Amino acid sequence: MKKRFDKLPGLIVAIFRDGEQSIARGDDDLRAEDHIYVLMPEEELKNFRKFVHPESERVEKVVIAPEVIAEFRTKAADPIRDAWIADMEAQGIPGQELYDLVMKTLDDAKSGS
């Protein structure tokens, strides 16, 4: 996946395929029917749309209700996060510490700190 998507303005964190979710890894192949979740700064959304759908002329911003986000986190994001942390810890990498650092950095950026 890395060679083909090294210019992607974001990080593919999850792939949903055939009703199953998985943590994206560097050697995954993406298929046309896949749904992907990408972590990126909001300002990169326009570049991302151009990358995945070059003929798209407009960028739409989607607002998701807080209760829908909470449900998504419970069903999809939390298990993916927990699996990633466990995978990192199994490799001797401080996964929880890295995750906490990323979340703190995101919170700081949102608050303007």
- Between 100 and 51, the more confident residue is 100
Strand partners of residue 20: 17
Q: Which whole number is the average pLDDT over 14-30?
A: 83
User: Would the pLDDT of 98 be above 60?
Assistant: yes
Residue 94 — pLDDT band, cuts 50, 70, 90?
very high
Contact between 14 and 21 under an 8 Å Cβ cutoff? The reply is yes
Structure tokens at 57: 């002329």
CA 93 to chain centre: 20
Q: How many CA atoms lie within 13 A of 22 on its CB side?
A: 12
Q: Which whole number is the average pLDDT over 93-98?
A: 94
Which pLDDT does position 2 carry in this prediction?
45
Alpha-carbon distance of 83 to 30, in angstroms, equals 20
User: Would the pLDDT of 68 be above 90?
Assistant: no
Structure tokens at 25: 């890894």
Which pLDDT does position 1 carry in this prediction?
47
CA distances in angstroms from 16 to 11, 90, 104, 107, listed in the order given? 15, 24, 27, 27
Residue 15 — pLDDT band, cuts 50, 70, 90?
confident
